[in-house]
Structure 1
């Protein structure tokens, strides 16, 4: 195997490893900063309100709920890591002149984008 490919694979694995750790840290910090220890922490779940993702971010930005925004940033980072891995793999296959594998990887990338787009209520 080409040394450049091994180096690139190693860099991709480091990016994913540190990305998962950063995403987990962001979500943990966001969730912990939203806890209110003066009352029951589960009280917020007593009444269910159906709010779309965009409205939830809009409310959090308007009301300066930085904990929720930090947790969302971690979640978005965690979701984007597999997407970036598939995209980098497709580009790697393209550079290696493996057109069939590159096409399959680009198809998987498009399918992931479509599935995420359909799964979120804007």
Structure 2
């Protein structure tokens, strides 16, 4: 089994290669990023690929990997989990979902998540939906 740090180097190199070398090494240097569990990175990439169909799978894998690396560089994992959970919970219908929709602090997390997603999608050339 390949050690985690070697896998990250391989993913970083794949992103640079997929973007035609237009990304700087610093833009995808995961060593400088906050430490995200590999499972969360993979889950994000799969969800991103599902939500952004179109280009060949390898191209979207590279773009979505770029996005999670950019997020990890900017936001600690626990903060990302809070924002993503609030964003997902915002869609719960009925009375249970009203707690999230009515809470100003949770709505601030939802807005922060949307802003973060917009920035990384633009930086990683993921077309807006």
User: Normalised by the shorter chain, which TM-score bucket?
Assistant: 0.3 to 0.5
TM-score (norm 2): 0.32
Q: Which has the higher helix share?
A: 1
Structure having greater relative contact order (Cα 8 Å, sep ≥ 6): 1
Q: Which has the larger radius of gyration?
A: 1
TM-score (norm 1): 0.34
